[in-house]
């Protein structure tokens, strides 16, 4: 009720065309500037991207020294915490493909530079939260390399399957099991360089069938008969392009000592590489069976994988990421991946960080509407909170999860975490400001908080306008200074712990139309 009363008064003030008056007949009340007394009351967190915020050594790339030099600026904004984009080594500029969870990216400086920044932030009463990626690592991560090399210590860190569609339908992959067959998406699987195939093989290409087909058999004799040129080629291994032998019209064979960690393709040219000359497997059926013809396609032509080649799953549909395998949620803390990530988190807690922002938590177990993610997250939070208290701190560790969804989908995740980003806040506020209709806003937001507290007493909504994955608030509000000011006022007076995204305090514009970099 107090919030509603305050907002009503605030909106009334904005709409006044003359001075606010007191009792009837009195002069207009003089409105004086309020000077901040320096006490941080709003629980504001400033989100910044290390690589683009401040350069401290002149190489035109953001770093820890630059952050330390700008702490007085952040302090003057009234921020009581900073959320840093991933600080770990990564081939991706944004850092979300982590190579090593226990090191800092050398582009940002040394671990000592980070500790100097951390200590300087704490001296100003500013906490520091690290972005932590639990869903996946980079394929350049040593854990993934060891898993692909067959190291038994790491082989279960990731999701491997020779036949994802079949294994998902049979419930053999715990992170996708609760979705059943609907959890299979061919575009989310990539051939992993693991095991591979090293065999004496005979390939039979039947160009008379519709569509053409390829049959592969294990053989002891790799001698070849028939005639060349045939105009048909097998592309395989490390850049090998070997011509088939013609047998009867439309039938071609090739026997060889085959070794490939990705598979093969059929080509009708050894000089042209466009799609018209490339024949592969239709997506989702690219693992052939020994001795069984596999239909080929020259439009939907994925790499042909042989039995024994394994696959890794990546929800984010890129070869650069590999999803972790935590096993069944109820026992996820026993998995190797959980233990390794918890160990890494412990290192940063011991160093002095105050909390974590957890990336993409709705994708850890793929049924985002199920209970598995909340069960997993509670285990991870409880572990980190115990480590935090063991380090000598009396409060609870801060941990906020990213569930990029409406509030009704995010609410159940409070069973696992004390704080979640409230994307619905910005969705509703943006609509209200751009349509000039405010009467629904408070009722909507209040209903979200009621839902949160039904799951967790003391649930903390991390309110925000835009962030690094969205168009800039200034652009979304039509570059209207009046709307931007009102958005900021509502953000900083509504219930919740507000986040300010770097540059938002300056009214930055930018859209994702040409890529994420334009909002980062």
- pLDDT, position 136: 96
Residue 501: strand pairing partners: 47
When mean pLDDT is compared across 256-270, 472-486, 491-505, the lowest value belongs to 256-270
pLDDT band at 7 (very low <50, low <70, confident <90, very high): low
Report the alpha-carbon distance of residue 19 to residue 21 in Å, rounded.
6
SS3 letters across 21-42: ECCCCCCECCCCCCCCCCCCCC
Q: With cut-offs at 50, 70 and 90, classify the pLDDT of residue 24.
A: very low
Name the band, by pLDDT with cuts 50, 70 and 90, for residue 166: confident
Q: Give the burial class of 409: count Cβ atoms within 10 A of its Cβ; 0-12 exposed, 13-18 middle, 19 or more buried.
A: middle
Q: Residue 4 pLDDT > 70, yes or no?
A: no
**Nearest alpha-carbon partner for 85 in 110, 104, 113:** 104
Three-state DSSP class for 303? coil
β-strand pairing of 189-191 with 264-267: unpaired
| Range with lowest mean pLDDT among 26-40, 359-373, 478-492 | 26-40
The pLDDT value recorded for residue 40 is 93
Mean pLDDT, range 9-25, rounded to an integer = 45
Average pLDDT on 205-221 reads 95
Q: In this predicted structure, what is the pLDDT of residue 15?
A: 44
DSSP-derived pairing of the beta strands 245-246 and 355-359: unpaired
- Cα–Cα dist 451/209, whole Å: 60
Q: Which residues are catalytic?
A: 359, 402
Q: Collect all residues with Cβ–Cβ distance below 8 Å to 315 and sequence separation of at least 6.
A: 135, 136, 188, 321, 323, 360, 363, 366
Confidence of residue 174 (pLDDT cuts 50, 70, 90): very high
pLDDT top residue among 150 and 474: 474
- Per DSSP, the three-state class of 259 is strand
CA atoms within 13 A on the CB side of 515: 3
Would you state the pLDDT for residue 13? 45
**Nearest CA to 449 among 440, 438, 437, 462?**
462
Cα–chain-centroid distance for residue 2? 38
What does the block give as tokens for 48? Answer: 């910044």
Q: Could you check whether the bond before residue 25 is cis, i.e. omega within 30 degrees of 0?
A: no
Could you tell me the CA-to-CA distances from 99 to 203, 282, 488 in Å, in that order? 39, 32, 37
Could you tell me the two tokens for 18?
């003359």
Q: What does residue 223 show for φ and ψ, rounded to 5 degrees?
A: -75, 150
For 342, phi and psi rounded to 5 degrees? -65, -40
Q: Residue 179 pLDDT > 80, yes or no?
A: yes
Tell me which residue of 470, 469, 508, 468 sits closest to 488, measured CA to CA: 508
**Taking residues 26-51, what's their average pLDDT?**
85
Report the pLDDT value the prediction gives residue 191, as an integer from 0 to 100: 67
In this prediction, residue 193 has a pLDDT band, given cuts at 50, 70 and 90, of low
Out of 19-28, 69-78, 347-356, 398-407, pick the least confident. Answer: 19-28
Residue with tokens 């991560």: 141
Look at residue 448 in the predicted model and tell me its pLDDT.
97
Torsion-angle region of 79 (φ positive above 0: left; ψ -120 to 50: alpha; else: beta)? beta
Residue burial 286-307, b: 16+ Cβ < 10 Å; e: rest: bbbeeeebbebbbeebbbbbbe
Of 407, 425, 405, residue with least CA distance to 473: 425
Task: Give the C-alpha separation, 257 to 234, whole Å.
Answer: 13
Going by C-alpha positions, the residue among 278, 263, 281, 285 that lies closest to residue 201 is 263
Residue 9 has pLDDT above 70, yes or no: no
User: Of 194 and 397, which is predicted with more confidence?
Assistant: 397
CB 174 within 8 A of CB 231: no
Q: Which residues contact 453 (CB under 8 A, 6 or more apart)?
A: 459
For residue 318, the model assigns a pLDDT of 82
pLDDT number for residue 196: 63
| E-assigned strand segments in 407-485 | 419-421, 460-462
Q: Does residue 261 carry a pLDDT above 80?
A: no
pTM for the whole structure: 0.79
Rounded CA separation 405/363 (Å): 12
pLDDT above 70 (res 501): yes
- Residue 85: pLDDT over 60: yes
Maximum C-alpha span of the chain: 111
- Residue 305 in this model has a pLDDT that exceeds 70: yes
- Separation of CA 455 from chain center: 25
Residue 288: CA atoms inside 13 Å, Cβ hemisphere, count?
A: 28
Per-residue exposure over 453-479, b if at least 16 CB sit within 10 Å of its own CB, e if not: eeebeebbbbbbbbbbebbbbbbbbee
Mean pLDDT of 191-204: 78
- pLDDT per position as a tens digit, 387-434: 999 999 999 999 999 999 999 999 999 999 999 999 999 999 999 999
Between 272 and 397, name the one with better pLDDT.
397
């Amino acid at each position: 009720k107090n919030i509603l009363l305050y907002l009503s008064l605030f909106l009334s003030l904005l709409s006044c065309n003359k001075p606010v008056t007191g009792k009837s007949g009195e002069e207009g009340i003089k409105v004086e500037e309020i000077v901040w007394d320096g006490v941080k009351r709003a629980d504001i967190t400033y989100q910044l991207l290390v690589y683009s915020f401040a350069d401290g050594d002149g190489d035109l790339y953001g770093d820890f020294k630059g952050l330390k030099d700008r702490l007085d600026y952040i302090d003057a904004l009234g921020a009581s915490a900073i959320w840093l984009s991933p600080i770990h080594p990564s081939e991706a500029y944004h850092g979300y493909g982590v190579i090593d969870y226990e090191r800092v990216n050398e582009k940002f400086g040394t671990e000592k530079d980070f500790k100097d920044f951390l200590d300087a932030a704490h001296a100003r009463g500013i906490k520091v939260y690290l972005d932590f990626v639990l869903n996946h690592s980079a394929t350049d991560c040593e854990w993934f390399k060891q898993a692909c090399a067959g190291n038994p210590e790491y082989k279960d860190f990731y999701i491997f399957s020779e036949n994802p569609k079949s294994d998902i339908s049979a419930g053999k992959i715990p992170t996708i099991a609760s979705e059943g067959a609907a959890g299979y998406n061919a575009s989310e699987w990539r051939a992993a360089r693991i095991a591979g195939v090293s065999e004496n093989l005979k390939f039979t290409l039947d160009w008379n069938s519709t569509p053409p087909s390829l049959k592969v058999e294990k053989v002891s004799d790799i001698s070849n008969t028939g005639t060349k040129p045939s105009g048909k080629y097998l592309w395989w291994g490390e850049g090998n392009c070997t011509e088939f032998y013609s047998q009867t019209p439309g039938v071609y064979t090739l026997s060889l000592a085959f070794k490939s960690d990705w598979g093969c393709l059929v080509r009708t040219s050894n000089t042209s590489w466009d799609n018209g000359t490339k024949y592969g497997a239709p997506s989702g059926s690219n693992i052939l069976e020994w001795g069984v013809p596999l239909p080929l396609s020259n439009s939907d032509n994925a790499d042909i994988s042989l039995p024994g080649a394994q696959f890794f799953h990546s929800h984010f549909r890129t070869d650069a990421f590999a999803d972790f395998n935590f096993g069944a949620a109820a026992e996820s803390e026993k998995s190797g991946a959980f233990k390794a990530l918890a160990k890494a988190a412990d290192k940063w807690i011991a160093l002095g960080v105050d909390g974590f922002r957890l990336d993409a938590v709705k994708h850890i177990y793929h049924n985002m509407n199920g209970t598995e993610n909340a069960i997993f997250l509670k285990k991870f939070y409880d572990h980190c909170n115990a480590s935090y208290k063991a380090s000598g701190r009396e409060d609870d560790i801060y941990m906020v999860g990213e569930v990029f969804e409406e509030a009704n989908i995010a609410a159940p995740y409070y069973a696992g975490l004390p704080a979640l980003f409230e994307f619905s806040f910005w969705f509703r506020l943006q609509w209200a400001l751009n349509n000039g209709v405010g009467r629904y806003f408070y009722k909507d937001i209040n209903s979200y908080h009621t839902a949160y507290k039904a799951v967790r007493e003391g649930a903390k909504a991390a309110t925000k306008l835009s962030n690094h994955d969205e168009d800039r608030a200034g652009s979304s509000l039509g570059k209207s200074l009046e709307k931007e000011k009102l958005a900021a006022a509502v953000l900083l007076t509504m219930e919740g712990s507000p986040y300010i995204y770097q540059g938002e305090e300056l009214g930055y514009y930018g859209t994702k139309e040409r890529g994420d970099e334009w909002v980062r």
